[in-house]
């Protein structure tokens, strides 16, 4: 609570420009988020969410049609902010390739209020999906870690990095689901399982497409002894 008030004061003093259009975003002292015009353009998701992907539900069941056709998800709940299209795509590209800290801050501001369910708030740690060190070297930062750190400020849950990417993988975007799974086989490891034993983990990534990367990460954490996994992504494709 104290944290929240403190942040409001800071936001009032520091005016953050809108990370999407760059306008000075004056008058929007409520959050470090996007300006009103950009907020309208972003393809935000609404209402009851699918526990499999965090997207909107398309029926009376707990999961959307796409998730029901997938192998069982190893996580218990999921949340996503927007659809990966139009302005949502621009926002993700800026987060991913432009090292945009302001974008991560704005996304966390939008995402945190969506994580009010006990499934998320009772987590012991936030774990970003790791990059292999060769990719990290090229990019100089991990967008998922940036997001995790910004979310942590809202949720008061520490960011930890027990998960390592031990094998570089080729880009997933052009691969089929079968190829993705092969590509990800033994790509992740938890070198110190005692650090995740019996822990509830909020796993964070930027985009969920088929969910195979998150699937591989979640399975690795569960095999290492984690008690429960829930996931958060900014966008759902």
Least distance (Å) from Zn ion to the CB of residue 55? 5
Residue 65 tokens, joined: 């049609």
Least distance (Å) from Zn ion to the CB of residue 39? 8
Q: Which is nearer to Zn ion, 22 or 168 (CB)?
A: 22
Least distance (Å) from Zn ion to the CB of residue 37? 6
Least distance (Å) from Zn ion to the CB of residue 68? 8
Q: Which is nearer to Zn ion, 50 or 148 (CB)?
A: 50
What is the maximal distance between C-alpha atoms in the chain?
A: 51
Residues that bind Zn ion (CB under 5 A): 18, 20-21, 35, 38, 50, 52-53, 64, 67
Least distance (Å) from Zn ion to the CB of residue 23? 5
Q: Which is nearer to Zn ion, 119 or 145 (CB)?
A: 119
CB 57 within 8 A of CB 39: no
Least distance (Å) from Zn ion to the CB of residue 38? 3
CB 111 within 8 A of CB 126: no
Q: Which is nearer to Zn ion, 23 or 189 (CB)?
A: 23
Taking alpha carbons only, the member of 203, 210, 201, 158 closest to residue 183 is 210
Q: Which is nearer to Zn ion, 18 or 129 (CB)?
A: 18
Q: Which is nearer to Zn ion, 56 or 124 (CB)?
A: 56
């Amino acid at each position: 609570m104290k944290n929240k008030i403190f942040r409001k004061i800071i936001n009032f003093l520091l005016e953050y420009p809108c990370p999407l259009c760059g306008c000075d975003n004056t008058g929007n002292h409520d959050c470090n988020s996007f300006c009103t015009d950009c907020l309208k353009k972003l393809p935000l998701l609404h209402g009851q969410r699918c526990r499999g992907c965090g997207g909107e539900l398309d029926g009376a069941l707990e999961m959307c049609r796409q998730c029901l056709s997938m192998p069982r998800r190893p996580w218990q709940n999921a949340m996503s902010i927007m659809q990966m299209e139009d302005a949502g795509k621009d926002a993700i590209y800026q987060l991913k390739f432009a090292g945009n800290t302001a974008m991560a801050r704005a996304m966390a501001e939008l995402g945190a209020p969506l994580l009010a369910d006990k499934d998320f708030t009772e987590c012991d740690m936030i774990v970003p999906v790791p990059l292999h060190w060769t990719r990290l070297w090229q990019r100089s930062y991990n967008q998922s870690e940036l997001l995790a750190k910004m979310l942590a400020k809202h949720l008061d849950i520490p960011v930890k990095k027990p998960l390592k990417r031990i094998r570089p993988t080729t880009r997933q975007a052009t691969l089929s689901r079968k190829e993705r799974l092969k590509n990800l086989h033994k790509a992740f490891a938890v070198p110190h399982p005692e650090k995740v034993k019996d822990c509830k983990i909020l796993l964070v990534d930027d985009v969920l497409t088929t969910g195979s990367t998150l699937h591989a990460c979640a399975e690795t954490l569960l095999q290492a002894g984690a008690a429960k996994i829930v996931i958060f992504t900014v966008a759902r494709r």
